[in-house]
Structure 1
Amino acid sequence: LDDYHSLDRKQRKEKKVTALNPKANNFDLMYEQIKTLKEGGVIDKPIYNHETGEIDPPERVEPNKVIVIEGLHPLYDERVRELVDFGVYLDISDEVKIQWKIQRDMAERGHRYEDILASIEARRPDFEAYIEVQKQYADVVIQIFPTQLLQGEAAKESNLLRVRLVQKEGVKDFEPVYLFDEGSTIDWRPCGRKLTCAYPGLKMYYGPDSYMGNEVSVLEVDGQFDNLNEMIYIESHLSNTSTKYDGEMTELLLKHTDYPGSNNGSGLFQVLVGLKMRSTYETLISAPAKVAAKV
């Protein structure tokens, strides 16, 4: 959705607004084009060039059975939000965000280290005002924190992550994933004979909670999986995963072992969210058929 920036980098600097500010984005065009795609139409989508900071000529985009929109404001505008059938918010802690943003912007976009840190601080007020507020509208929030398995400098130097899947209760056609017993509070250290774990191990948690004014179920993974072939053991203790057969979740993880986060909670939850998206899609396309049959 960065392609719907209405101001290029130079113009934002002149007007002293960040890309997070709604004033720098064309929500009318965003809504119109997403609606057109969802209705089966073709659009000429603008392109925002992250390398030059300029708005390039548009590209033709054809509709598809599944349309994924991602960016800073997918749930900000009420009109756009109502077009979304399943909303996911990626909530990254400041510590992890700074580390990832430095890696991305220096390696991929050629930004300087000092400029990156300054940009983060400059954008913070707008982030809190216009981006964080969208969490309340998401069906699922994936939170990413530093590990709690290590403390002090060891934790700072570690690449281990604590990842939480926050699932909103009461959403139509969405059943939150749970561990062992739905609605209970579970702390589980699965390392042992059936799951290989190097130091400092692996910890999972499940339980009810409240989040942004919503009742939620939380599934958490702290640490990493050292052997993805053993993930069938974890899968066997999860319910409501929306898999179509035993082992499908593990199979999907093994297909993408080269993806970042494939061996920790972020990879696991990406797969689970993907399965939930598939389930939502199948429910939506089956609805007209059921109505026709009833008539």
Structure 2
Amino acid sequence: MLKEKLIKSGKVFIIGIAGDSGSGKTTFANGIKRMFGDDIVSHITLDDYHVYDREMRERLGITPLHPSANNLKLVETHLYLLKKGEKIKKPTYNHKTGTFGEWEDFESTPIVIVEGLHTLYDGIRDYIDFKIFVDPARYIKRLWKIKRDVEERGYDRDKVIREIIRREPDYKRYIDFQKIYADVVIKILPSSIQSTERIKYLVDSREEVYKVRLILKKTDIPLESVSLNIDISDLVKASERDFSIGFFSDYYYAEKASFIDIDGFLNVDIFKSLFDSLRKEIGDGEIKVESEYVNAIEFSKLLVCWKLVEVLKHSLRL
């Protein structure tokens, strides 16, 4: 299995996930971690490398998105050491208090996930083997950030809203451009299925329905065949939940790319071949789905993991 090969190789493979605050980076990081298992995957957040605590940032009028508010050179040094398989001592940051904690020991594992605002920034991306950028639509990102910061971190709602507005210029200056360097860009958009004229959504609009556009840059890495199983008879009988899948090819910032659109809820039987492929490479214990249907975000996690598996296999053959 791939896990055993990774462990035996002695290599350290670094996955970088970049994007704005509240964009869903941690969600995708946790998805990859669950897929491969805690025994071979470790996780670093670059928020720990802030230079100033929350109070000092407010005094200086600087946001965490500004490169000078982060010790990016220390990040580079730590990634260099982790690639060599060495142990590091890293800083920690507490989001609830907005202050720094004790420095902690961190050891390399076969896969290290690094997620943060500047993961694909100049210098840092040189140490990243697989680059992901999470890019939700503006209003979705705002909604998620307010929900997370108020409900999970206990921040004042009005302050969160003011901070979102204050940060937007820095996002455009220092974060958004990083998607140019990503191997996979995950765009999360409003669903095209959720029509206000349809009875189903008028009766029950509690479900969060999104459309995901995966942008995968073309590589020379050979990919194993994976098919989707769509039962036309179920569609005719209207027994399936609403979903759509689309594909086109185009250029993304001057590089050839595949664009895959996923919307709505997909029956797990549709992507059984994808499950089987991942189980074959990783192992049965790590691939789990709790329900009969998954939304576009969950399905996109599987596609990203499939692409990651193929990149890992190619890396181990080199």
TM-score by length of 2: 0.73
User: CA contact under 8 A between 1:4 and 1:26: conserved in structure 2?
Assistant: yes
Do residues 58 (structure 1) and 58 (structure 2) align?
Answer: no
* Ranges in structure 1 where 5+ consecutive residues have no aligned partner: 181-188, 288-295
Change (3 A) 1:202 1:190: farther
* 1:16 counterpart = 2:61: yes
Residue 161 (structure 1) aligned with residue 210 (structure 2) = yes
Relative to the length of structure 1, the TM-score reads 0.79
Q: Aligned ranges for residues 225-244 of structure 1 at < 5 Å? A: 225=266, 227-228=267-268, 230=269, 233-236=270-273, 243=277
Q: Does 1:173 find its partner at 2:221?
A: yes
* CA distance in 1: counterparts of 2:70 and 2:211, whole angstroms: 33
**1:202 & 1:253 partners in 2: Cα distance?**
26
Contact 1:174 1:276 in 2 (8 A): no
Which residue number corresponds to residue 99 of structure 1?
143
Check 1:145–1:253 CA distance in 2 against 1; reply closer, same or farther (3 A cut). Answer: farther
**Structure 2 runs not aligned, ≥5 long:** 1-45
Pairs within 5 Å for 1:40-59: 40-59=85-104
Amino acid at match of 2:70: N
| Partner amino acid, structure 1, of 2:141 | K
Contact 1:136 1:213 in 2 (8 A): no
Is 1:277 matched up with 2:308?
yes
Counterparts of 1:50-199 in structure 2, within 5 Å, are 50-77=95-122, 79-151=123-195, 159-169=208-218, 171-173=219-221, 175=223, 192-193=233-234, 196-198=239-241
Give the SS at the match of 2:109.
coil
Q: Residue 149 of structure 1 contacts residue 223 of structure 1 at CA under 8 Å; is this kept in 2?
A: yes
Aligned residue-pair number: 264
Counterpart residue type for residue 117 of structure 2? L
Return the alpha-carbon distance in structure 1 between the equivalents of residues 70 and 233 of structure 2: 51
Q: How far did 1:252 drift?
A: 8.4
CA shift digits 1:243-290 (9 cap, x unpaired):
3678x89x78961438xxx81121112122123223322322332xxx
Among 258, 265, 284, the alignment partner of 1:217 is: 258
Map Cα deviations across residues 94-134 of structure 1 (whole Å, 9 max, x no partner).
12112211221111100122222211111100111111101
CA distance in 1, matches of 2:246, 2:277: 21
Instruction: Answer whether contact 1:95 1:146 (CA < 8 A) is retained.
Output: no
User: CA 1:15–1:192 in structure 2 vs 1: closer, same or farther (change >3 Å)?
Assistant: farther
The answer to which structure, 1 or 2, has the higher relative contact order (CA under 8 A, 6+ apart) is 2
SS in 1 for 2:79: helix
Query: In percent, how many aligned pairs have the same letter?
Result: 32
Per-residue CA shift, 1:220-264, capped at 9, x if unaligned?
Answer: 111112x43x2xx3455x7xx993678x89x78961438xxx811
The answer to whether the Cα contact below 8 Å between 1:90 and 1:142 also exists between their aligned partners in 2 is yes
Is the Cα contact below 8 Å between 2:223 and 2:310 reproduced in 1?
Answer: no
Query: Equivalents in 1 of 2:256, 2:88: separation in Å?
Result: 38
Q: CA RMSD in A?
A: 3.1
Which amino acid in 1 is paired with 2:311? T
SS in structure 2 of the partner of residue 111 of structure 1: coil
